[in-house]
């Protein structure tokens, strides 16, 4: 699978992976700052952004996607930073292909299983007949009863595109995500731990990384540290970009 990506900067390679319903655009500010010191690749994962759609979607497959991406770009190894679903992909990639990963940064995601919490959101989007709408505002209003959070609605609407005749379409593969959604909640799998430097950046306002997760984190990533940004929510790199960048840059620059 030939993943779509954006590239900037020069130096050691750093790869950024977005979360569910996201795209490479979510990392824009962080990528700009990192590109001052590193060669940054911001990737759209399968079924997201401008990358290909697929009926199959799980973390071992997405780790394979990353391996193919690096091979296609001639990248021997890289630091990998992933948020949420992208954090799971990054963990799985490091566990499957440890020689490819120099350092690992995981933003607000643990290696465990998660209960399904996005099914209502996916169903609300799938239920819309996009051909019946003439403006983005009409679509936003139609989603409001099922998705009352305005910030979330507008985040989801970043996935809307318009075709040459002016009609709307979803750039993400909602059907494929829906059919594979339960697999995206599964834990990462490992035959051996990843023994290179790893940092988990935990949000102080979410419960994605609990104290109970720390034992499994240490088992799978024995050279890991867990840092907390107290005032940030789950989208920690967007809520507190300066604090996130301070942690990430210090970690990436360390010998």
Which residues participate in catalysis according to the annotation? 84, 234
Residues 89 and 17 sit within 8 Å (Cβ to Cβ): yes
Is-contact 30 245, C-beta < 8 A? yes
Q: 163 to each of 136, 141, 184, how far by Cα in Å?
A: 13, 21, 29
Half-sphere exposure of 118 (CA within 13 A, CB side): 22
3-state secondary structure of 207: coil
Q: Furthest-apart CA pair in the chain: how many Å?
A: 56
CB-side neighbour CA atoms (13 Å) of 175: 5
202 - beta bridge partners? 228
Nearest Cα neighbor of 114 from 220, 179, 208 is 208
In this structure, the number of other CB atoms found within 10 A of the CB of residue 32 comes to 12
Helix (H, G, I), strand (E, B) or coil at 224: strand
Residue 107 in contact with residue 87, Cβ under 8 Å?
A: yes
CA gap 105, 21 in Å, rounded: 20
């Amino acid at each position: 699978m030939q993943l779509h990506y954006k590239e900037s900067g020069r130096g050691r390679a750093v790869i950024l992976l977005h979360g569910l319903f996201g795209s490479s655009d979510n990392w824009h500010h962080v990528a700009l700052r990192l590109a001052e010191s590193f060669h940054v690749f911001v990737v759209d994962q399968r079924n997201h952004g401008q990358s290909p759609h697929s009926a199959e979607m799980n973390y071992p497959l997405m780790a394979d996607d990353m391996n193919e991406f690096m091979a296609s770009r001639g990248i021997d190894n890289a630091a990998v930073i992933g948020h949420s679903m992208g954090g799971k992909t990054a963990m799985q990639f490091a566990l499957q292909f440890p020689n490819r990963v120099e350092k690992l940064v995981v933003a607000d995601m643990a290696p465990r299983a998660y209960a399904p919490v996005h099914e209502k959101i996916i169903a609300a989007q799938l239920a819309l007949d996009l051909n019946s709408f003439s403006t983005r505002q009409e679509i936003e209003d139609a989603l409001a009863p099922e998705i009352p959070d305005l910030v979330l609605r507008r985040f989801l609407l970043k996935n809307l595109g318009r075709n040459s005749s002016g009609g709307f379409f979803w750039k993400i593969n909602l059907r494929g995500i829906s059919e594979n959604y339960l697999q995206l909640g599964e834990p990462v799998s490992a035959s051996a731990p990843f023994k290179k430097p790893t940092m988990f950046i935990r949000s102080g306002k979410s419960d994605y990384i609990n104290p109970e997760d720390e034992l499994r984190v240490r088992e799978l990533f024995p050279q890991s540290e867990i840092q907390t940004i107290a005032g940030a929510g789950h989208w920690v790199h967007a809520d507190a970009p300066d604090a996130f960048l301070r942690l990430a840059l210090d970690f990436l620059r360390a010998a």
